[in-house]
Amino acid sequence: MQITLESDERRNLIQRYDTASVQINEVVYTASLLVTPDDLQSDWSVTSIDDLSESHVDAIASLAPDLVIMGTGTTLRFPRPLIHAGFAGRGIGVEFMDNAAACRTYNVVAAEGRWVVCALIMPPSRTE
């Protein structure tokens, strides 16, 4: 889906997404990534909600978000309770949703000026 937004070169906004990729600031990504309004980490090693560990929660928490939007792939899935508790124990709100909803929600929250992390779990490449 194409998203039309007014461009702000200082802010990472999601311009387009589909089931296998996401486009941010004219660059297409096909692997899992972490996105904040001013940072992008394209080397996030999570390929399934089942891969999430406490170390992933620690890495996301180190970005000091007010809110985490976790895109769980093409369908909504929930992590083990330990993962949700890891965010709650730090006072960080977290919402789990499919990637399409996560992309749309991230753009709205980022445009409001809130400090948000969008963690998108992308499906493994079909060539792997």
Instruction: Identify each DSSP E strand in the chain by its residue range.
Output: 14-17, 22-24, 27-29, 33-36, 39-41, 67-71, 93-97, 116-120
Number of domains observed in the structure of the chain:
1
Domain membership of residue 88 (yes or no) is yes
Separation of alpha carbons 106 and 100, rounded Å: 10
- Residue 118 tokens read as 């969008």
Residue 9 has pLDDT above 60, yes or no: no
- Give the HSE-up count for residue 31: Cα atoms under 13 Å, Cβ half-sphere: 9
Output helix, strand, coil percentages for the chain, rounded to the nearest 5: 25, 25, 50
Cβ neighbour number for residue 60 with a 10 Å cutoff: 24
Cβ neighbour number for residue 110 with a 10 Å cutoff: 23
pLDDT single digits (tens) 97-126: 999 999 999 999 999 999 999 999 998 875
Domain membership of residue 128 (yes or no) is no
Those residues whose C-beta lies under 8 Å from the C-beta of residue 16, and which sit 6 or more positions away, are 1, 2, 3, 22, 23
Instruction: Check which CATH number belongs to the domain holding 37 and give it.
Output: 3.40.1230.10
Give the residue numbers spanning the domain of 74. Answer: 14-120
Q: Indicate the average pLDDT of the chain.
A: 91
pLDDT single digits (tens) 67-101: 999 999 999 999 999 999 999 999 999 999 999 99
pLDDT value for 128: 45
Separation of alpha carbons 59 and 27, rounded Å: 23
pLDDT value for 28: 97
pLDDT value for 47: 93
pLDDT value for 11: 86
- Residue 110 tokens read as 């980022």
Domain membership of residue 126 (yes or no) is no
Residue 49 has pLDDT above 90, yes or no: yes
